[in-house]
Chain A
Amino acid sequence: MNCKYSEKILLYFYNETDKDETEKIKEHLLTCVECKKNLQVLKGVSNHLDNSKAQPPESLIEGLVLQAHKEETPKFNFGDIFEGIRNHWKVSASTLVFAALMVGVFLPSSIKEVNLSWTSNIDNDLDSLEYSMYEEKDFSLGDYGESGEDSEYENTESEIESENGRILL
């Protein structure tokens, strides 16, 4: 039959019991043969395990180190940046606030000064100027008829004659 202390003995052996439990277990060990025997076996096995620790061959370690050189991680990573921000968060935060203030003060005024072509209304003046010129041209062409581009070179004979007549007169 298993003693109810069988698991507590393990905790006791590996120093995982508090002061009160340790005292209780010590008292228990004075009377419980089974637990005492468990403890003896545990000690014997532990001694053996201590004496049979093993190490891998050196060649295995050397091979792994060579492999690590091949897989070398990059020396720069974003983790460093985040860590820097985290470590100096006061400086980072004040820099950010200052930058935001600067943008808030200078950006709107600089935008106002810029006279963008699509907001300048320059087209309005241009349109009216062009229109008035067009109107004038129309008016000037009134004497020469409305027959198109060539009309200004195609005055009729009678017109030329009458013109000459006026000159002669």
Chain B
Amino acid sequence: MDWANKGTPRTPISDQVTDSELIKAYKKGDTQALETIMEKYKTPIYSYLLKMVRNRDSANDLFQEIFLKFIKNIDSYNEEKKFANWIYTVAHNTVMDSFRRNKNRHIESLDQVKGEDFKSLAETVASKELSPENGLIKSESGERIEKAFEILSDEQREVFIMRHYWGLSFKEIADILKVPIGTALARMSRALGKLKIELGHIGEAV
């Protein structure tokens, strides 16, 4: 089987208007441009947050914090640089700050998360709106993968999620993390090794 081209696309699907044009419009007071930007980045950022903090309330708070930073500090954004990398750097720094703030944070067990999600699952099934956007664990293999993710360190999990949800290259990830590219690759390689042990032949099963 040809495994190449199986990964997520490098760049997110964009509308006809570029990020740069949207930012310029927003700086001139066009809040519609802001809504378009948020629409574009809400899923990759929120998915990243949920996988990092594993708690919806915390993910909501951090999501709000990230976009408030964006709204208030938009003038500090250098338009010659890629906007995606700027906003993702803000997201990464915000998560790291929250980890530092809550050094004694209690990582909720998967059971707790499942408890919340099963409640919302019942609600969504009842309203016939079951969709991947809900971020629910829908299969046995999905549960096993979530459990396997638990054993990864924050650093290992983060590289995995950044690469997948943000579609950044390893070089770009290394730049955001301020580490050499070899370190970013090594973190993901170790993560994959751990997942392989935990999951066994899950790849064949999915």
Q: Which residues of A contact B (CB under 8 A)?
A: 2, 6-7, 10-16, 22, 26, 29, 37-57, 60-61, 63-65, 67-69, 71-75, 77, 79
Question: Contact at A7–B142, with CB atoms within 8 Å?
Answer: no
Q: Mark B137-175, 1 if CB is under 8 A from A, else 0.
A: 110011001100000000000001101110001100000
Q: Which residues of B contact A (CB under 8 A)?
A: 2-8, 10, 26-29, 31, 34-35, 38, 42-43, 46-47, 50-51, 59-60, 63-64, 67-68, 71-72, 74-75, 132-138, 141-142, 145-146, 160-161, 163-165, 169-170, 182, 185-186, 188-189, 192-193, 195-196, 199, 201-206
Closest 9 CB pairs of A and B: A40-B203, A54-B135, A44-B203, A14-B7, A44-B206, A7-B185, A48-B145, A56-B46, A41-B203
Q: What separation, in Å, do the CA atoms of A38 and B200 have in the docked complex? A: 10
Known contacts A67-B71, A75-B28; is-contact A54 B50 (Cβ 8 Å): yes
Number of A-B contacts (CB under 8 A): 165
Q: What separation, in Å, do the CA atoms of A11 and B185 have in the docked complex? A: 9
Question: Contact at A41–B3, with CB atoms within 8 Å?
Answer: no
Instruction: Using CB atoms, name the residue of chain A closest to B66.
Output: A64
22 contacts between A and B (CB under 8 A): A7-B185, A7-B186, A7-B189, A10-B188, A11-B185, A13-B4, A15-B4, A15-B5, A38-B196, A44-B203, A44-B205, A45-B202, A46-B6, A53-B47, A54-B46, A54-B135, A55-B135, A56-B59, A63-B64, A68-B34, A71-B71, A72-B31
